[in-house]
Structure 1
Amino acid sequence: MNKVAYYLDMGLGKTFVGSEKLHQLNKRANLLICQKSLIPMWINHFKTYYKYQVFDGTKSTQLNQVLNSYEKLRPFVLIINYDLVFRRDLKSVFRHDFTLMLDESSMIQNEKTKRTKYILKMHPDNIILLSGTPTSGKYERLWSQAHLLGWNITKSKYNKIYVNWDTMYLGIQKFKVVNKDHPYKNVQRLKRKLREHGAVFMKTEDVFELPEQNFIPIKVKQSSNYRKFLKDKYLEFDNQELLGDTALTYLLGLRQLSGMYSKEKLDRLSDLIDSTEDRLIIFYNFERELDEIVKIAKNKIRPISIVNGKTKNLTNYETKDNSITLIQYQAGSMGLNLQKANKIVYFTPPQQSELYEQSKKRIHRIGQERSCFYYNLIVEKSVEERIYRALKERRDYTDELFKSDFD
């Protein structure tokens, strides 16, 4: 088949499966779109195992070489990230007779974003989709990928056949939401149609027996500042000012008071770090959280590695048994192999289910021989409890459905 989707669980070798399929399709021109943090990995992979010319689309000189010499290049792969692809004039040369591969194809699940609109308007001869969590269990988000695979079904018809929708009112605003108790229908028919259009589904447990996963909630007392902001939607403290005059700023303030401004949580994290000399992976959301956690780690004279939008340095993780690796969800929940560690600490939770599910697999993958432990620091009776309930059900904690009654 020339249009395929490899929905393989994290750790089952999507990189090799996808690149081998691309090689078998044997096109001179190949376009690979992935997350920016994974571009060096893909470049190294193709240079190590294949004889393609490989170009980094984030570097203007290399991108211009492809755009200006497209017809003269020998078999090549241009690798570019999702946030840049629609800003470059790729369709001027990638018009036909090429293979398009999307790594972490869940990045195009929202057909209204610029990146997805741009990609859906391309006309590749071959399509390869790669993902461990194509929709994070949310079938309503699968239409754009199904469309790329050549399934000729409209979005409205897809929703009507496979999704049970409800209407929710928030004030005068009306929202369509998926029914919580019975979200989907005709699921077996949906999976059959996807397989007919080239989708391959495979879970790790179908292939390998991985160690058990242990989830340990660590309760943290709610602070007086949290209670005050919860009630008044305004707070002044330590030269800081929080104002919750909209649903978004109110939610943001409650999340910050459950994390970087929570002395109680920082103390519990300090105690947790003291309890082990093993490698620790700590996931966080905000830059100020990073600053506070780094202070704790440095006070304990622990070597630090950091992965975020500005930095990717895993040297201490790789070389130091007692290292602490701090990872911002958006930058590092996907694609990293961190099975030298078997302990993850969630300082604060993400709002996106996919980021949470992907983050757990950083240590629970092929090569892991020890039981995996996940420590969730949770402020009691706070917005974090609601977020974790949503994540447990593999739902996003969406801003637009945010409610203000957090007591």
Structure 2
Amino acid sequence: MLYDFQRDLLNNIEPNYIIAADTGTGKTMMAIHHYLKHNKGEPLLIVAPPQKIKEGGWQRELDFVASKYNIEIPYDILSYGVLSKRWKEYKNWFLVMDECHYVKNPTSQRGKAAIKLTQQSTHFLLLSATPSSNGWGDTIAYMIMFGYYKNKTQFLREHAIYNRIDYGNGPVNVVSDFRDQEILQKIYQSFSIKLAKEDCLDLPPLVFEKIHFNPSKEYNIIKKDRVLGEELFDNIAKLQHGLRFYANQSDKLKYTEMLLEGTEENIIIFYNYKQENEELKKIAKKLKKKVFEVSGSKTNLPDKVVWPELKNSVTIVQYQAGAAGIELQYANIVVFYSPTYSYQDYEQALGRAYRNGQTKKVTVYQYITKGTVETNIYKALDAKKDFTEELFRREIVN
């Protein structure tokens, strides 16, 4: 179940470690096998963002591994949202913290609880594509977890360089840099390993990740009553639109925010509706991403000369406007936020990033709301067919 690069990585790390691996390299599967290798019978605790827990990826992977090996894996999954209240319940568990950058602030309630949880665990593994994207200040919590410093005060006393800045109410000391960075680098590298997708020789050049959601209340109301508030869905076209749009906007947006927050790689998001565009741009701007856009009324893309240095960008593309004729090889994460009915548009959209000139391996996220029209759309697309009105009538209306 492991690629060679995953097996090699696990053979070269200690039981307590940080895996700083790119999106699409299989951090979940590596973490489960790390637990299987080092546990002494204690149960496994997964701490993850609520969006990941709700999507169910951890449960699916754990159940899959247990079934393949014909074993039982005792585990619990805890949200970061309740970590500060419940960490005491998990003494002597084997700990995996997914998207560990959520606890990089050692003085927050969540960060304090995470540090205490690592200290009472049998072993702990931290996962993130970007555990320390903002420099040494982001590593302080990890340094404490691995026992190199007692607290943030000690770290700053030994390494912080301050500037005095006048904010109007008098001068304030502000950390401007850190001393002894070679020492800090040596310490950090003693418990962390970086894994880039392009270094994974046996990883396929195109990796698909299916992200599952449950249908929204609005979807179920429209499907049953053909009405939502004052909006009627009294013909096939309106019903198709309503079911596709209202499949689950809320959870998709939350998951997208988590995905964007956890990487500095360049991302393309394909969408259908203007309202999706507006909400996606709000999230990208909130996270201070560089935002590019292709729609029926606007085309704003980075110049090719900046592609080699470009990072931390989001390109939001409407299928009909940008499925063909544009080159987006600067991005290596593709999100199909809501599906298109057209197999041609789907293939063309996929080919915007995965084409000649792409130097990185590409991860594709398909957002699929279970038990909805989206499931049927992807069945057709996987069969290299359009999702037609006839299929809609057969599978949804009837």
1:189 matched to 2:189:
no
Structure 1 residues 354 and 44 mapped into 2: Cα distance closer, same or farther (>3 Å)?
farther
Asked if 1 retains the 8 angstrom alpha-carbon contact of 2:51 and 2:251, the reply is no
- Cα 1:148–1:129 change in 2 (3 A) is same
Q: Distance in 1 between matches of 2:315 and 2:112?
A: 29
Match of 2:46 in 1: 32
2:192 pairs with one of 199, 202, 227: 199
Unaligned runs of 5+ in 2: 1-13, 206-237, 272-276, 292-310, 317-330, 335-349, 361-398
Q: Which residue number corresponds to residue 76 of structure 1?
A: 74
Residues 235-384 of structure 1 correspond to what in structure 2 (within 5 A)? 304=245, 310-312=250-252, 330-333=257-260, 347-348=281-282, 349-352=284-287, 360=314, 364-365=332-333, 369-370=354-355
- List per-residue Cα deviations over 1:177-206 (Å, max 9, x = no partner): 342xxx34433321211222x211233344
Return closer, same or farther for 1:32/1:328 CA change in 2, 3 Å cut-off: closer
Q: Any conservation in 2 of the 1:133–1:358 contact (CA below 8 Å)?
A: no
Deviation at 1:172, TM superposition (A): 0.7
Conservation of the 8 A alpha-carbon contact between 2:267 and 2:313: no
TM-score, structure 1 normalization: 0.49
Change (3 A) 1:202 1:365: same
**Structure 1 residue 45 and structure 2 residue 61: aligned?**
yes
Structure 2 contact 48–78 (Cα < 8 Å) conserved? yes
Match of 2:91 among 86, 92, 95: 95
CA deviation map 1:374-396 (0-9, x unaligned):
xxxxxxxxxxxxxxxxxxxxxxx
Length-normalised TM-score, structure 2: 0.50
Structure having the larger proportion of residues in helix: 2
Q: Structure 1 residues 147 and 120, CA, compared in 2 at 3 Å: closer, same or farther? A: same
Aligned partner letter, 2:193: V
Partner of 2:141: 144
Which secondary structure state, in structure 1, belongs to the residue aligned with residue 147 of structure 2? Answer: coil
Aligned-CA RMSD value: 4.2
Does structure 2 conserve the Cα–Cα contact (< 8 Å) formed by 1:330 and 1:355?
A: no
After superposition, the Cα gap between the structure-2 partners of 1:34 and 1:360, relative to the gap in structure 1 and judged at 3 Å, is farther
Task: Give the letter for the 2:46 counterpart.
Answer: L
| Cα separation, 1, equivalents of 2:116 and 2:254 | 34
Check the 8 A contact 2:106/2:141 in 1, yes or no: yes
Q: Percent identity?
A: 17
Q: 1:153 to 1:191 in 2, by over 3 A?
A: farther
CA contact (8 A) 2:21 2:196 kept: yes
CA offsets 1:332-388 (integer angstroms, 9 cap, x no match): 42579x99956697624444459997775996249962469xxxxxxxxxxxxxxxx
| Residue number in structure 1 paired with 2:165 | 168
Counterpart secondary structure, 1:121: helix
Q: Which runs of 5+ in 1 are unaligned?
A: 53-73, 212-297, 313-325, 373-407
**Shift in Å at residue 148 of structure 1?**
1.4
The AA in structure 1 aligned to 2:141 is S
* Partner SS, residue 85 of structure 2: coil
Q: Is the 8 A contact 1:29 1:99 kept in 2?
A: yes
1:32 is displaced (CA, Å) by 0.7
Separation in structure 2 between the aligned mates of residue 151 and residue 14 of structure 1, nearest angstrom: 25
Is 1:109 the counterpart of 2:109? The answer is no
After superposition, residues 219-230 of structure 1 pair within 5 angstroms as none
Could you report, residue by residue, the CA deviation over 1:145-191 in whole angstroms, capped at 9, with x for unpaired residues?
22212324542342244443323232216554342xxx344333212
- The aligned residue for residue 252 of structure 1 is none
CA drift of 1:118 comes to: 1.7
Partner of 1:402: none
Counterpart mapping for 1:46-61 below 5 A: 46-50=62-66
Tell me if the contact between 2:51 and 2:254 (Cα under 8 Å) persists in the aligned partners: no
Cα distance in 2, alignment partners of residues 21 and 105 from structure 1? 16
Secondary structure at the residue paired with 1:84?
helix
Contact kept? 1:109, 1:143, Cα under 8 Å: yes
Going from structure 1 to structure 2, the CA distance change for 1:339 and 1:76 (only over 3 Å counts) comes to farther
Q: 8 Å contact 1:162–1:184 — kept in the other structure?
A: yes
- Does structure 2 conserve the Cα–Cα contact (< 8 Å) formed by 1:14 and 1:130? yes
**Cα distance in 1 for residues equivalent to 2:28 and 2:315:** 16
Aligned residue type for 1:106: H
Runs of 4 or more off by more than 6 Å in structure 1?
208-211, 305-308, 354-359
Give the Å deviation of 1:13: 2.0
In 2: Cα distance, 1:17 partner to 1:355 partner: 31
Query: 1:21 pairs with 23, 31, 34, which one?
Result: 34
Please state how far the C-alpha of 1:79 moved relative to its aligned partner. Answer: 0.7
Structure 1 residue 15, shift from structure 2 partner:
1.5
Aligned partner of 1:390 in structure 2 is: none
Determine the structure 1 residue equivalent to 2:347. none
Helix, strand or coil: the match of 2:111?
helix
The 1:7–1:328 alpha-carbon spacing in structure 2 relative to 1, beyond 3 Å, is closer
Give the letter aligned to residue 44 of structure 1. Answer: R
- Distance, in Å, in 2 between the alignment partners of 1:172 and 1:143 is 29
